[in-house]
Structure 1
Amino acid sequence: MSDLSIRQLSKSFGGVRAVNDVSFEIKRGEFLALIGPNGAGKSTCFNMINGQLPPDAGEIWFEGNKLNGRKPRDIWRLGIGRTFQVAATFNSMTVVENVQMALLSHANQIYRLWQPARAQHRERALELLAQVGMQDAADRPSRELAYGDVKRVELAIALANDPRLLLMDEPTAGMAPKERNDLIALVKRLVIERGISVLFTEHSMDVVFAFADRIIVLARGKLIADGDARSIRDNPQVQEVYFGTGKTFRAEARA
């Protein structure tokens, strides 16, 4: 069964075709990497799926619901979570309050101002923080966190709506090698435990080849390859797009 179906998706900016007739599917519980060099169209594709950009052509379907024309908050309520390349939290709040705000939004309680927000959903927020290894920092101000810990809190926030599909745009950007591998290993564990499907973009090929169930490759807006790590690593067209002739992914994959 497919969670997400992308059908002939296209988007142009002026004379530039950022995404050009792209089609792919994500199966239930699949950990799918979307890779490509800078300017390949990855973020544009993400932003169309998430409702931040309208496609010029094509269709986006999630569990039988057509996403074209829906706003990001409506897509979120359908069960699609999202993390961003640059992680951010409300620095004026504690770690647990950041997660509580996401839970309040999911429950449509943001505007119930007569009820103190910090008293609501705290237990559930602590459970989510425990799942990402941040429960001990629950009452710390978010502004004090290291960047890798902010990424973990962002993941807890993304899980607040019990997503069945998680979109992760460069989840390990700005992180050291051990941090990024630890974070993706955590996500992979949650995927298995919760049965979540994940679509993620990533520039670190060691992360992609170590953890992705399947990899799709964009270049100049077009999908040029779709397969497992070995077939993508050995694909001559993919190697040409990334490195030019004569080089391979093998050294990068061992980094």
Structure 2
Amino acid sequence: MTLLRVSHLAKSFGGVKAVDDVSFDLNAGQLLALIGPNGAGKSTCFNMLNGQLKPSSGSILFDGHEIAGKRPRDIWRLGVGRTFQIAATFNSMTVIENVQMALVSRDRQLFNLWKPASSIHADEAIALLEQVGMAAHAKRACGVLAYGDVKRVELAIALANKPKLLLMDEPTAGMAPKERNDLMALTKQLVVDHKLGVLFTEHSMDVVFAYADKLIVLARGKLIGEGDAETVRNDPRVREVYFGTGKSFTPRASLAADGVAP
């Protein structure tokens, strides 16, 4: 089932086309990697999906809802979770308190004079921490955790609103190889268990090729390749742009003129 359909998405800053006519689909239960060299337009595309940027044109259809131009909070309430390249947690708060804050926000609870804040959604918070392997650290402050563990807490926070779609911006940035593989193996299991759709950006090709069901490749704002790992790895345009020939990519118009399918 198609969960996310992006059609002719574009974003310009002045005369610069950061994202130029990008279209792709993401299915429920699919782990989709968005890759490309620096300046390819990955972050701009990602931020339009999350509502941090308004598209210049195009459509973003999520679970039957047009979300292009909606506010991040409204998109979150429809069932889109997000993690960030730099983990966004409250260091002075405990692990469980961080997750409880997300649950309180989900339910729009401000305060309750008759119930201590530490007891609100405690059981649900522990259940989320168990999913990411962090329940044993519930009472520890986030500020003393190893970075890989902080990323797991952030994942639990992202799962608090029971998302159908999870956006992960470079989830393994700054992590050691074992931590990277552990986190992505956990994400893959969540995809399988809960039929989540996951879109993630990533620079570590070992992670991408090991865990992504499908890849889409951007260069200078344009979509230049998509498919499974083997298809993308052997795509001549992707190899030229991304895997180190040192040549710039050939625009789609030129490819069509040469008889190559764009």
TM-score, normalisation: structure 2: 0.91
Q: CA deviation at 1:83?
A: 0.4
Match of 1:144 in 2: 144
Q: CA deviation at 1:118?
A: 1.2
Deviation sequence 1:67-105 (CA, Å, 0-9, x none): 023111110010000001111211121000000000111
Q: CA deviation at 1:243?
A: 3.4
Counterpart Cα distance in 2 of 1:45 and 1:140:
36
Match of 1:2 in 2: 2
Counterpart Cα distance in 2 of 1:221 and 1:70:
22
Counterpart amino acid of residue 29 in structure 1: G
TM-score, normalisation: structure 1: 0.94
Q: In the alignment, does 2:200 pair up with 1:200?
A: yes
Q: In the alignment, does 2:111 pair up with 1:112?
A: yes
Counterpart Cα distance in 1 of 2:246 and 2:203:
20
Counterpart Cα distance in 2 of 1:24 and 1:140:
41
Q: CA deviation at 1:45?
A: 0.5
Counterpart Cα distance in 2 of 1:141 and 1:178:
23
- Aligned in 2, Cα 1:92/1:216: closer, same or farther, shift over 3 Å? same
Counterpart Cα distance in 1 of 2:134 and 2:64:
35
Given that 2:95 and 2:141 are in contact with CA atoms closer than 8 Å, whether structure 1 keeps it comes out as yes
**Equivalent position SS for 1:11:** strand
Structure 1: tracts of 5 or more residues without a match: 248-255
Q: In the alignment, does 2:127 pair up with 1:127?
A: yes
Task: Give the root-mean-square deviation of aligned CA atoms.
Answer: 1.3
Counterpart Cα distance in 2 of 1:198 and 1:75:
15
Match of 1:31 in 2: 31
Counterpart amino acid of residue 83 in structure 2: T
Aligned positions of 1:144-223 closer than 5 A: 144-223=144-223
Given that 2:126 and 2:135 are in contact with CA atoms closer than 8 Å, whether structure 1 keeps it comes out as yes
**Equivalent position SS for 2:111:** coil
Match of 1:250 in 2: none
Which structure has the larger Rg over C-alpha atoms? 2
Match of 2:251 in 1: none
Counterpart amino acid of residue 219 in structure 2: A
Following TM superposition, the consecutive aligned residue runs of length 4 or more in structure 1 with deviations greater than 3 angstroms are: none
Q: In the alignment, does 2:101 pair up with 1:84?
A: no
**Equivalent position SS for 2:181:** helix
Q: CA deviation at 1:242?
A: 1.5
Counterpart amino acid of residue 204 in structure 2: S
Q: Percent identity?
A: 67
Counterpart amino acid of residue 118 in structure 1: S
Aligned residues, how many? 246
Structure 2: tracts of 5 or more residues without a match: 248-262
Counterpart Cα distance in 2 of 1:127 and 1:87:
21
